[in-house]
Structure 1
Amino acid sequence: MTGTITDSDAPGTPKSPSGGSAIYFDGKSNQRRAVTLHFADRLEIRDGETSLAAWAYADIRRADGPSGMLRLSALTAPALARLEIRDAAVAADLVSRCATLDENTPGRRGVAAIVGWSLAATVSIIAVVLFGVPLAADRLAPLVPEAFERRLGEAAESQVKTIFDAKVCDNAAGQKAFVKLMTAIRESAGMDTSVQSSVLSSSVPNAFALPGGRVYMFNGLLAKAENADEIAGVLAHELGHHKHRDNMRGLIRDGGTAFLVGLLFGDITGSSALIFASKTLVTSSHSREAEQDADGFSIDVMHRLGRPTKPMGELLVRVTGKGGKGLSIISSHPMSEDRLARMTREDRPASKPPLLTSEEWRALKSICDSDGKI
């Protein structure tokens, strides 16, 4: 028996457009609809016999979606309209018809754009760190009230003693000699009695100034010194940092830098800024220009005291070795031998008596010994 040929099977009759099932959100409500897709001259989205939307293939764009799902939107559809296809064959068929599927996708950026903007942001932050922050520090440091700076110094003092496990050396004879030396330097530098200074018991060969006029020297540096002129030059150098407010400037610079770096790496709490700020207060690491200015201040003070400037440079080289580095005054950007060369050039023969007698110098050297012996 021969079969009956229907109209749809007749030769030359066009086949129905291909398609498949999907989930549709019209962008106007949160209703989730199971729909049928028909691939004709446009993508037709139907609910039974009802046409819900028709998207031109050129307008269809890929939207972000989970793995295993093709999520689409359309330029001419409402902004929140979405089509979700989980059938891999249907998705592949539709993708083959959409030549501009990943072009100028609304609401998302290509990898290249994201990388480009990220690089631009990074370069901007680096530029601010290198140029903007130092400039701001130079402008802001002189505006910080001295009372606030003194409170910073008080807070940093306890950190110093904790970090280095140091206590103030108070041997009576040594303390008397230190006060005499520091008073002579302070008066020659034109500073009042608000400047506070102490020797701390630590083997680290270091000296530094904290905000608010607090100058400290570790016994480790004193132990390496051979005469009072060496120590006087170092203390005058630290007073120079105080005079120029380099510590406040460095705190603003390093704290601001740390905050920006924290933003770059996602530290929005600013914890890295606090760490950098503490480091600045304790180590007193300054710029090359600041160190050169402090050296110049020390040289001027030693000239007014009628004492040579070369001994300070000799102490730096003795502590670090040629080309070596240490902390604070020792770790400054100018190399120790360069600084020795400058202090040698500007050295003058002693025109006034020694700052300390031989007995006072021995007492100062033993300031951290409870029995007063070296």
Structure 2
Amino acid sequence: MDSATPEQLSSLTSQGSGPAIYFDGVSSRRRTVVLHLSERLEIGEDGQALAAWDYSDIRRVDGPAGVLRLSSLTAPALARLEVRDAALAAQLVSRCASIDDHMIGRRGVAAIVGWSLAAAASIVAVVLFGLPLIADRLTPLVPEAFERRLGEVADAQVKTMFDAKVCDNAAGQKAFVKLVTAIRESAGLDTSVQSGVLSSPIPNAFALPGGKVYLFNGLLAKAENPDEVAGVLAHELGHLKHRDSMRGLIHNGGTSFLVGLLFGDITGSSALIFGSRTLVTSSHSREAETNADSFAIDVMHRLGRPAKPTGELLLRVTGKEGKGLSIISTHPLSEDRLTRMSRQDPPASGPPLLTSEEWKALKSICSAKI
């Protein structure tokens, strides 16, 4: 059949038959066969039938240009049929309605691209909307005992990460307790709130889950009066009141934290996520920061003290660029916060939160005991 003339091939094709190459899938033998297109595709060699394929079972297989390569669902897995005659190939394709069912054609590629884009959009939607919603719904359900335990783990990590110790100069500690107590009572929080000053030069302050608030000595050193420090502490108490640390942990920790929450693992990956993201980068959302600012302004006004000094401290630490203080990074600019706190400030009507001597003692809280 390899020596058939073009006239012979044309005659065969016009009759619904023609030459092809066949591999039976059992041996490696290459057979030159004749195809006959009747109710089924009949494959013959030297007048003997080798196989018959139902058109509904025939599928296209990848092949070189100019070759129609086929397989059959009911034939051996490696069985292949190669048709090089374009006219015969066209007739055969027209009879096989499902020939491209498993092939990725243009529609298939378009579908894959479409589903990929949809999957990417879903991921973005989950990150932007799903996780915050989940965090908002789950936070009130987290037991306070669990949150306190998590805070204890995070507490140890913070002190290790910043190589910081709790400052305990007696006079300074007494003044700090007086300041925190006034703010806590004005904020409507109970005595379970724990606070302290850590010996670190970093100008920062933060709240941990379970009711812990820390002020770094680096921020205290830059403060010029008790009202500045009081406003920062009130801001952090606002985060405690709203349980923003827990909400941010669930949001930023995502799946890792949720798994830890289910299995009670807060000493491994979940605590690490909390320490590295929520504490170091202060990943509170812009909304959470704004709400904490509102809380601090309200607390300071209930005490009869101005909120403006807090804004002045934040701007002094960060500068106009808004850099250097983690409680502000990625959140409202210091200039904007100062403007807001100044605009909402009534005249001071309450007594000073600390005397001049108490303020001096607080500024020296991290110095050696006398």
TM-score tier by shorter-chain length is: 0.7 to 0.9
Aligned residue type for 1:135: L
The 8 Å contact of residues 251 and 281 in structure 1, kept in 2 or not, is answered as no
2: CA distance between counterparts of 1:364 and 1:61? Answer: 82
Go from structure 1 to structure 2 and tell me whether the alpha carbon gap of 1:155 and 1:36 turns closer, same or farther (over 3 Å shift).
Answer: same
User: Equivalent residue for 1:266?
Assistant: none
| TM-score normalized with structure 2 length | 0.78
Q: Provide TM-score, normalisation by structure 1.
A: 0.77
1:354 and 1:174 map into 2 onto residues whose CA distance is: 17
The equivalent of 1:97 in structure 2 is: 89
Question: Offset of 1:174 from its aligned partner?
Answer: 1.9
Task: Tell me, in whole angstroms, the C-alpha distance in 1 between the residues paired with 2:320 and 2:30.
Answer: 81
In 2: Cα distance, 1:141 partner to 1:95 partner: 69
Does the residue aligned with 2:252 lie in a helix, a strand or coil?
A: helix
1:208 counterpart SS class: strand
**Conservation of the 8 A alpha-carbon contact between 2:187 and 2:299:** yes
Q: What residue in structure 1 maps to residue 264 of structure 2?
A: none
The one-letter amino acid paired with 1:154 is E
- Do the aligned residues in 2 keep the contact of 1:201 with 1:368 (CA within 8 Å)? yes
**How many angstroms apart in 2 are the aligned matches of 1:148 and 1:38?**
76
Aligned length: 338
* Alignment match, 1:153: 151
Task: Summarize the Cα distance change of 1:164–1:12 in structure 2 as closer, same or farther, 3 Å threshold.
Answer: closer
* Counterpart residue type for residue 238 of structure 2: G
Code of the residue aligned with 1:83 in structure 2: it is A
Structure 1, unaligned runs of 5 or more: 1-7, 25-30, 261-270
CA distance in 2, matches of 1:223, 1:359: 16
Shift of 1:173: 2.2
Distance 2:285 2:170 in 1: 37
Alignment partner of 1:106 is 2:105: no
Match among 158, 171, 174 for residue 173 of structure 1: 171
CA contact (8 A) 2:32 2:45 kept: no
Correspondences of 1:160-239 after superposition (within 5 Å) = 160-239=158-237
- Alignment-mate amino acid for residue 33 of structure 2: H
Could you tell me how far apart the structure 1 residues matched to 2:298 and 2:167 are? 29
Residue of structure 1 aligned with 2:31, choices 33, 36, 39 = 36
**SS where residue 33 of structure 2 aligns?**
strand
**Residue in structure 1 matched with residue 52 of structure 2 by the alignment:** 53
What is the rounded CA distance, in whole Å, between the counterparts of 2:284 and 2:136 in structure 1?
13
Shift of 1:84: 4.7
- Structure 2: which amino acid aligns with 1:78? T
**Partner in structure 1 of residue 262 of structure 2:** none
Match among 248, 251, 271 for residue 250 of structure 1? 248
CA contact (8 A) 2:58 2:99 kept: no
Q: 1:126 to 1:20 in 2, by over 3 A?
A: same
Offset at 1:252? 1.5
Task: Find the aligned partners of 1:81 and 1:123 in 2 and give their Cα distance.
Answer: 39
Deviation, 1:276, is 4.5
Partner SS, residue 79 of structure 2: strand
Distance 1:234 1:134 in 2: 25
Contact 1:168 1:199 in 2 (8 A): yes
Conserved 8 A contact 1:256-1:273: no
Deviation readout 1:30-65 (Å, 9 max, x if unpaired): x667563525345655699452233659943126x9
Contact map agreement 2:20 2:84 (CA 8 A) in 1: no
The residue that corresponds to 1:116 in the other structure is: 114
How far did residue 78 of structure 1 move?
Answer: 3.1
Query: Separation in 2 of the partners of 1:91 and 1:156?
Result: 70
Letter in 2 for 1:22: F
Question: Structure 1's 318 and 364: CA in aligned 2 closer, same or farther, altered over 3 A?
Answer: same
- Find 2:301's aligned residue among 296, 300, 303: 303
135-144 vs 106-115, which deviates more?
106-115
**Structure 1 residue 17: deviation in Å?**
4.7
CA distance in 1, matches of 2:279, 2:287: 18
Q: Secondary structure at the match of 2:61?
A: strand
How many Å apart are 1:170 and its aligned residue? 2.0
Q: Which one-letter code corresponds to 1:40 in the other structure?
A: L
1:147 CA displacement: 0.8
Of 284, 287, 296, the residue aligned with 2:285 is 287
State the SS of the aligned residue for 1:331.
coil
Q: Deviations over 1:134-175 (max 9, x none)?
A: 122112211211111111111111221222222222222222
**1:8-44 deviation digits (Å, cap 9, x = unpaired):** 99x97978953335252xxxxxx66756352534565
Query: Aligned pair in 2 of structure 1 residues 274, 361: CA closer, same or farther (>3 Å)?
Result: closer
The answer (yes or no) to whether the contact 2:35–2:43 under 8 Å persists in 1 is: no
Cα separation, partners in 2 of 1:195 and 1:315, compared to 1, 3 Å: same
Who is 1:28 aligned against? none
Within 2, Cα distance between the matches of 1:71 and 1:201? Answer: 76
1:328-343 to 2 correspondences below 5 Å: 328-331=326-329, 333-343=331-341
| Corresponding residue number in structure 1 for 2:19 | 18
- In 1, the alpha carbon distance for the partners of 2:300 and 2:285 equals 23
Structure 2 CA distance for aligned equivalents of residues 190 and 253 of structure 1: 27
